[in-house]
Structure 1
Amino acid sequence: MQLTFTWAGIACLIIFIIGYYFIAAEDKYHLNKTKPAIFIGTLMFIILGAYLFLNNQDLKLLEEEVKSLIEEIAEIIFFLMVAMTYIEALIERNVFNALKYKLVSKGYTYRKLFWLTGLLAFFISPVADNLTTALILSTVLLTIDNKTPNFLVPGAINIVVAANAGGAFSPFGDITTLMVWTANKSPFIDFFALFPAAFLGWLVNAYLLSRFVPNIAPSFDASKQKEEKIYEGGKLVIFLGIFTIFCAVIMHSLFELPAMWGMIFGLSLLSLWTYFYNRKKGKKDINVFFYMSKIEMDTLLFFFGILAAVGALHFAGWLNYAAKLYDIAGASVSNIGVGFLSAIVDNVPVMSAVLKANPNMNMDEWLLVTLTAGIGGSLISFGSAAGVGVMGKMRGIYTFSSHMKYAWTILVGYIISVIVWWLQFEYFDFY
């Protein structure tokens, strides 16, 4: 259908721009970004439906588009719901507090703690996700020292960059990689070919940042702090979480079932474990539905709204121009540009737009856009969910201006990642 320059198509574009302004300006208006997201996501399809109805056009295509969109969104939301439930279970079993205590009680220097938190962020985010990883480790920074900006600001940037880079080479590390995987643009195992580009880009950035971190030990008296230990059953929850990810991979890769099917199966295992644990203890200490009640539902609804809005733009025909841009500039140049765009606009709608436009690209180019969309958001503090989360956690310390002071180091790391991708995938053809 040619709806792009009809009143409905133009209205949808205007509504999307206005709505996205309020999403981006969440802190300015104190309006949760979920509210404008679900408003524009639903309204845009209502406008398209009204146009088709008033002009006596076939509504069947709109119905099919919405049903397909619901299936796509449901797979992502159910997947994230289970992942977030496991994170809440690990928090309740004191796993992350135990990790935090081990780090801060060793007497390491600021610079060594900078490297340790960065490495942990890089290697935890592929299994958890970049936002959760960044929030946990930024709390660790504040526990170590909440008054030394020469440690806190580079440390916060390091965690954001590491979490985004670590999430870029795993289907579970970021919503954008999950979207690419579930869209069958690349097999599960091939995402890990991005490890060298993601790791070396972060490593260069971390080295440059570390030069600004003092090489002295913070004042921390471990004897005055209560030792944190993992509660009973915590290690089993870690095992169940890993097994759940394994189930998701097997069911999607071998059985052609949605990845969320394996995740829901893993949720059932967690729920059964809590039942038998309570029976054994003779009380009701833990409950999987309590874990689920702690999930940030506004995050899940935000994804619904923004993906629906991008779906409406696709139905209206606007994303055809994005596909033509790929034809004009070429896949590699366009994909590198996606990384810079995701620094300004959140990487989720950017990746959704690329997937909906569906430019004709080989797997190596799909992996490039996965890499650039994932790590490009680090260039600006509010360009990724991890950055926004850390800004909220370290309010007044990690800010837009303090981030931009060191932004050149992130840009160098981004360029290194792209160069490594080109050498690996295009020059040596090694993946």
Structure 2
Amino acid sequence: MHETMLDLTTTWAGIAVLAIFVIGYYFIATEEKYELNKAKPALFVGTASFMVIGIYYALNGIAPDAMHHEMQTLIEEIAEIFFFLFVAMTYIETLIERGVFDVLKYKLVSKGYSYKKLFWLTGLLAFFISPVADNLTTALILSTVLFTIDRDNHKFLVPGAINIVVAANAGGAWSPFGDITTLMAWTAQKGEFVDFLFLFVPSLGGWLLTAWLLSMAVPAGQPEFDAEKEQKPVMKDGGVVIVWLGAFTIFTAVMGHQFFHFPAMWGMMFG
């Protein structure tokens, strides 16, 4: 049995940890101002907090068993999420390298769609890609697509980019893979995979309402496209295989977690 973790809220250690957290979060929020990678203050906050607690335990002669248990549990949780995301991002980077998203971008631009139709299409793609590729990656990729369509038309770019971000976040809410928060909740067994699917309707409704309001600001007309000047991208060998392999990997992660109670990262690493 591990000892119960002490309540350090009103001790100097608790106050010091709170101060470290606030200072660290400040530097995370202002990373662009200080040209600082947010991973650095985040790692400092995590390690320094346990260092302070360890010093408090040592000075007061308290057995560190409970603290060690918490540290080991935390490391296991972080490792599981890290390996899961490692595989997911490897697939995304491979799809980019194989030119899958370049082909998608070209098809959208070359169809001669109006600004309104492109607005809705990119939002719809963001809503359904983010549950698999995570909301941040989806927003970055599709925003790049939007910028490529007509980089000088700010009346189209601003509502279009906002629409993509909203759609990506709404889409990520109804899937364990769509956001780091939902992934942490799923891997911690706070809910089953099917529980997230019940959020589909409210997520869709939230995006559609926002998109409808934003669409009023989208200009009429369509972007210019010269097929002779634009070089048609070609998907490299293996692009389609990677897409299907990624789908199979997600399938093994879900099935392994649901039916065999394996960590979600097992299915991802297997794929």
TM class by smaller structure: over 0.9
The secondary structure found in structure 2 opposite 1:126 is: helix
Give CA deviations for 1:46-66 in whole Å, capped at 9, x if unaligned.
010011011100100000000
Q: Report SS of the residue matched to 2:198.
A: helix
Q: Say whether residues 1:23 and 2:28 are aligned partners.
A: yes
- The aligned counterpart of 1:187 is 192
1:10 and 2:20 are equivalent in the alignment:
no
2:67 is the counterpart of 1:65 = no
- CA distance, structure 2, for counterparts of residue 215 and residue 189 of structure 1: 40
What is the Cα deviation at residue 227 of structure 1?
0.9
- Residue 147 of structure 2 is aligned to residue 169 of structure 1: no
Query: What is the one-letter code of the residue matched to 2:241?
Result: L
1:130 corresponding residue in structure 2 = 135
Q: Size of the alignment, in residue pairs?
A: 266
Say which of 260, 276, 281 aligns to 2:265: 260
SS in 2 for 1:127: helix
- Residues 93-131 of structure 1: CA deviation (Å, up to 9, x unaligned): 110000000001111111111111100000100111111
Of residues 153, 161, 164, the one that matches 1:156 is 161
- Partner residue, 2:56: 51
Deviations 1:127-181 (A, max 9, x none): 1111111111011111111111110110110000000000000001111111111
User: Quick one: distance in 2 between partners of 1:101 and 1:175?
Assistant: 30
Per the alignment, in what secondary structure is the counterpart of residue 3 of structure 1? coil
Q: Which amino acid aligns with 1:31?
A: L
Structure 1 CA distance for aligned equivalents of residues 191 and 256 of structure 2: 15
Please report the RMSD computed on the Cα atoms of aligned residues, expressed in angstroms.
Answer: 0.8
Alpha-carbon distance in structure 2 between the residues aligned to 1:241 and 1:7: 49
Listed one character per residue, the Cα deviations across residues 197-219 of structure 1 (whole Å, up to 9, x for unaligned) are 00011001001000000021112
SS of the residue 2:260 aligns to: coil
Shift of 1:256: 1.0
Cα deviation for residue 223 of structure 1 reads: 2.2
Paired residue secondary structure (1:256)? coil
2:247 matched to 1:242? yes
- The Cα of 1:92 is off from its aligned counterpart by 1.2
Distance 2:23 2:194 in 1: 39
- Counterparts of 1:15 and 1:216 in 2: how far apart (Å)? 53
* AA partner of residue 103 (structure 2): A
Runs of 4+ off more than 2 Å: none
1:79, distance to aligned residue in structure 2 (A)? 0.2
Identity among equivalent positions (%) equals 66
Which SS does the other structure have where 1:56 is aligned?
coil
* TM-score, with length taken from structure 2: 0.97
One-letter amino acid of the counterpart of residue 30, structure 2: A
Alpha-carbon distance between aligned partners in 1 of 2:263 and 2:217, rounded to the nearest angstrom: 46
- Counterparts of 2:198 and 2:120, CA distance in 1: 24
Q: Write out aligned runs for 1:264-275 (5 A).
A: 264-266=269-271
Match among 207, 215, 235 for residue 230 of structure 1 = 235
1:284-314 deviation digits (Å, cap 9, x = unpaired): xxxxxxxxxxxxxxxxxxxxxxxxxxxxxxx
**Does residue 112 in structure 1 map to residue 146 in structure 2?**
no
The one-character-per-residue Cα deviations of 1:257-280 (angstroms, maximum 9, x if unpaired) are 1000010001xxxxxxxxxxxxxx
Cα distance between partner residues in 1 of 2:7 and 2:178: 37
Q: How far 1:229 sits from its partner (Å)?
A: 2.6
Structure 1 runs not aligned, ≥5 long: 267-431
Counterpart CA distance in 2 for 1:109 and 1:2 is 60
The aligned amino acid for 1:55 is N
1:67-114 CA deviation, whole Å, 9 max, x = no partner?
000111111000000000011111111100000000011111111111
> How far, CA to CA, are the matches of 1:162 and 1:100 in structure 2?
18
2:3 aligned partner: none
Q: How far apart are the structure 1 equivalents of 2:228 and 2:190?
A: 52
